[in-house]
Amino acid sequence: MSDRQAKQAAKRMRLGTKSCAECRRRKVRCVFSPGNSVCQNCVLHSTACTAQQPRAQVDEAECDRATLRQRVNQLEGLVKSLAGSVHATAAASEPLAQAKSTVAARGNAPAQDLPTTSNASDAPLINLFRDALLISDADGRVQDDDGSDAALGTRRPSLLTSLQPNIPDEATIRSVLAMTRKYWCTWPACYYGSEPHQTFQVNRDAEGEEYLVRVLSHPPLDTAFCKSLLWFVLCLQQLPADSFRHLFPQRCSKQDMLASYLAYCRIMLASVPQDNLDAVQCHILGFKLYINMGMPQKAWACTRSAISTATLLGLNRLDAAAKESHRIIWLLSWETERQLSLILGYPSAVQTTTKTPFGSLPMGLEAPVVYRILYALALVYGDVINRDQDGANPSYATTVNIDENVRALRSLFPVEWWSPCDASDSISDAYQRESAKFLYFLLVKLVHLPYMLKSVYDARYEHSRQSVLEAAREQIRCYVRLRNFPGAEILICELMDFQAFHAGMVLIIGALYMPDNPGGTLHVFSEDGILIESLIASLRQMATLLECRVAEQGAGVLELLVDTQRPPEDVELLVPYFGKLRIRKPMPDSQQSIGAPSTCSGMSTDTGHMYDLAAPSARPVVELSTNVFMTGVPAQFKQGSELRQDWFGVSDVDACYDWQHSWTRMDLAP
């Protein structure tokens, strides 16, 4: 056997290898039930269970060279075909242009009435390539700047038309609008005219609906059409799974359909002028679409684009005499950006602070109560963002001052809002009430979250721990009440689902990691145990009704922590924007005590609880790695996934955590 053949020979597998390929990839124990050819983990995750195959030893350098040669050949062929198509189109157009000019000079017929040719070289990709090369002359000469812009401008409408996805007929559009109209009140204000009442939410005499149908049926290929299409995409997104399949039985999946519309809107916004209010509203609608899809980073990018476009239009300098619609569009731009910057741990682009008076709010002091609450919350967001972005450790006095401002905001809430919603209330009333309270308690939680874990070592931070736990409880209550309200159970917002799940995780950590709870137990009949169970039920309901991936995975993680009836197994997962979670199955023959030291940056590491896991009553051990903010934990997500990524398949090789803790899985027995 030659040296090359020896290198390519199959590498022998380690003696005793029995785990399947999927368990090997996930680094978990592979267990086969008696008489079953599929392991338990593959059954649980509905994956193919295949045996590991020996890997061949190949010459990596030779393989890389062969791959590079193949790619170079493919690229050369592609460039030759594109160049050939460009020159073929130019050569074919020259005789036709000469013929047109000759006939027109003789006066026999108008030049535009002559037939034109159509072939593969007129494909959109060839036209885009030609525009990139700035080639238009028959002899291949590059155009000057003056001519290139004009040539591209004449071809842009045809290019956008050729890329436009298939839009449903008028009857289907009206059906989608009718089925989702009751949810429009929960979306950002979107104007089809310049007057305050000309919003899709008000929709006087179905004027807004007629505007949508007219624009979608006869696309003008401008930002007005893009705005209308994005509103229609919101309607499609809100449709329950069974309703979507009924209206579009022959179409692709809902996610693929929405992705095609969003991709086209991105192309259009990059191709048409954005010097108008419609462009700002397009970015705001993009924000709403992406938080519904569990993509906060993409949503944050949309809010940044909205602020940039609005600033170029001068909306940030409007006075009290400006149109109310213009001021509300600016308000939506910076409020949404500020909210996501706080959640994601990013700096804000707007320097508005709590010193800004309520008089700058659209409609002034007469604004609806929900406007005043969200406006005041957004002002305080800026103070928390500035504290979190401070490179040096801020003093706790900064947090105390922010907490005083936050507590003062409770006076803005009407007294009746703290009572459960009445069955006679509308979806709009229930959504505004519960979502405003949800955001308020989210702010309280994020104000004190960095100090919750420090309270074990320093009693000065006990107020922060109690504030975080109570805010998490109230967030869960608001979420469950909203999901139980008639009609709101299918109101889609995957970022809200994730924030509710986040509150549940914070509550579990705060309940288990307490000086007065050395056993690390959370009983099912306790207040916190009931809240966690109700949260799991609501998340499961969302996962079923709307096929919500975030709600499904959130409920699964919470069940892993509280379901003592599930067979113990080794599980490792990375929760986005939270941390790494590992559940270790105890060894049956173990007769040892496992120490659980907790570590935190700059603090003592010799404090911790000791749990006796002696068999046979041993319970699985939960290990959590996070940071003091419990947000912004590094994670490598696939493009366009974010929160929808498979939490069991995300790698965190380069992640750095500053807090770790271990405990036995909570006992839910009464």
Q: CATH number for the domain including 41?
A: 4.10.240
For the chain, helix, strand, coil in percent to 5 are 60, 5, 35
What band does 594 get if pLDDT is binned at 50, 70 and 90?
very low
What does DSSP say about strands 608-612 and 571-575: parallel, antiparallel, or unpaired? unpaired
Residues 577 and 509 in one domain: no
CA 494/CA 497 separation, integer angstroms: 5
354, pLDDT greater than 60 = no
**Crossing angle, helix 124-133 and helix 60-106, to 10 degrees?**
90
Residue 573 C-alpha from the chain's centroid: 19
Biggest CA pair distance of the chain: 105
Average pLDDT of span 283-299: 95
Name the helix (H) or strand (E) containing 579.
strand 579-584
Q: What amino acid is encoded at 136 in this protein?
A: S
Residues 558 and 643 in one domain: no
3-state DSSP call for residue 653? coil
Q: What amino acid is encoded at 649 in this protein?
A: G
Q: What is the pLDDT of residue 595?
A: 36
The answer to whether residue 338 is domain-embedded is: no
Please, what is the Cα angle at 340 between 334 and 343, to 5 degrees? 140
What band does 422 get if pLDDT is binned at 50, 70 and 90?
confident
The answer to whether residue 648 is domain-embedded is: yes
Higher pLDDT, 436 or 84: 436
The answer to whether residue 415 is domain-embedded is: yes
Average pLDDT of span 257-267: 91
Residues 402 and 548 in one domain: yes
**Is the CA virtual torsion 369, 373, 374, 378 positive or negative?**
positive
The answer to whether residue 360 is domain-embedded is: no
**Cβ contact 74:66 at 8 Å:** no
CA 529/CA 409 separation, integer angstroms: 29
Residue 660 C-alpha from the chain's centroid: 27
Average pLDDT of span 102-130: 49
Higher pLDDT, 155 or 205: 205
Within 8 A by CB and 6+ apart from 637, the residues are 576, 645, 650
Long-range CB pairs of 198-204 (<8 Å, 24+ gap) are 198/325, 200/231
The answer to whether residue 109 is domain-embedded is: no
Residues 584 and 454 in one domain: no
142: which DSSP letter?
B
Listed in sequence order, the DSSP H helices in 485-608 are 494-512, 527-546, 549-562
Q: What is the pLDDT of residues 65-103, one digit of tens each?
A: 778 888 888 887 777 776 666 555 555 544 444 544 444
105, pLDDT greater than 60 = no
Q: What percent of the chain has pLDDT over 70?
A: 70
Residues 444 and 489 in one domain: yes
The answer to whether residue 651 is domain-embedded is: yes
Residues 442 and 501 in one domain: yes
489: which DSSP letter?
G
Q: Give the lowest-confidence range in 224-228, 346-350, 560-564, 593-597.
A: 593-597
Q: Give the lowest-confidence range in 127-131, 248-252, 381-385, 396-400.
A: 127-131
Q: Which residues pair with 621 in a beta bridge?
A: 584, 664
The answer to whether residue 435 is domain-embedded is: yes
Residues 489 and 581 in one domain: no
Q: What is the pLDDT of residues 618-662, one digit of tens each?
A: 566 778 878 777 765 555 666 667 888 888 876 665 667 777 777
Residue 314 C-alpha from the chain's centroid: 29
- φ and ψ at 404, to 5 degrees? -65, -40
**Cβ contact 239:176 at 8 Å:** yes
What band does 131 get if pLDDT is binned at 50, 70 and 90?
low
Q: What is the pLDDT of residues 550-593, one digit of tens each?
A: 999 999 999 888 775 666 677 888 888 888 888 876 655 443 33
Instruction: Kindly state the tokens that stand for 457.
Output: 């070592």
Residue with tokens 């242009």: 97
Report in angstroms the alpha-carbon separations of 558 from 248, 379, 413, 521, 546.
35, 33, 31, 15, 20
Residues 560 and 645 in one domain: no
What band does 617 get if pLDDT is binned at 50, 70 and 90?
very low
Instruction: Kindly state the tokens that stand for 618.
Output: 């041993």
Q: What is the pLDDT of residue 631?
A: 66
The answer to whether residue 547 is domain-embedded is: yes
Residues 508 and 576 in one domain: no
Q: What is the pLDDT of residues 484-539, one digit of tens each?
A: 999 898 899 999 999 999 999 999 887 766 555 544 455 544 788 889 999 999 99
Give the total number of structural domains in the chain: 3
CA 224/CA 214 separation, integer angstroms: 11
Q: Which residues pair with 660 in a beta bridge?
A: 599, 625
Q: What is the pLDDT of residues 295-328, one digit of tens each?
A: 999 999 999 999 999 999 998 888 777 888 898 9
Residues 409 and 452 in one domain: yes
Residues 453 and 577 in one domain: no
**Cβ contact 285:279 at 8 Å:** no
Please, what is the Cα angle at 213 between 242 and 185, to 5 degrees? 65
* Mean pLDDT across the chain: 77
Residues 580 and 546 in one domain: no
Q: What is the pLDDT of residues 21-54, one digit of tens each?
A: 888 888 888 888 888 888 888 888 888 888 887 7
Q: What is the pLDDT of residue 566?
A: 63
Domain encompassing residue 26: 14-50
